[in-house]
Amino acid sequence: MALSHIKTLPSYHKYLKELQELGIIKYTPSYHPGYKSEVEFLV
């Protein structure tokens, strides 16, 4: 989040959702702290 200059977690999720709706990425969140979330670029 530091590299993207997004300071709050709700903003981070908002932008990920927007990118998904635009068809740029496929975001698969992990709800377990021990597993990583996945981001797939569709462009």
- Give the model confidence (pLDDT) of 1-43 as tens digits: 678 788 898 998 899 999 999 999 999 989 999 999 999 999 8
Q: Which pLDDT score is estimated for 1?
A: 67
The C-alpha atoms of residue 31 and residue 23 are separated, in whole angstroms, by 22
- Would the pTM count as exceeding 0.95? no
- Copy the structure tokens of residue 14: 């908002």
Backbone angles phi, psi at 5, to 5 degrees: 65, 25
* Of the candidates 26, 21, 20, the residue with the CA atom closest to the CA atom of residue 39: 26
Answer whether 15's CB lies under 8 Å from 27's CB: no
Instruction: Tell me what pLDDT residue 43 has.
Output: 84
CB atoms within 10 A of CB 12: 13
pLDDT of residue 2: 75
- In angstroms, how far is the first alpha carbon of the chain from the final one? 22
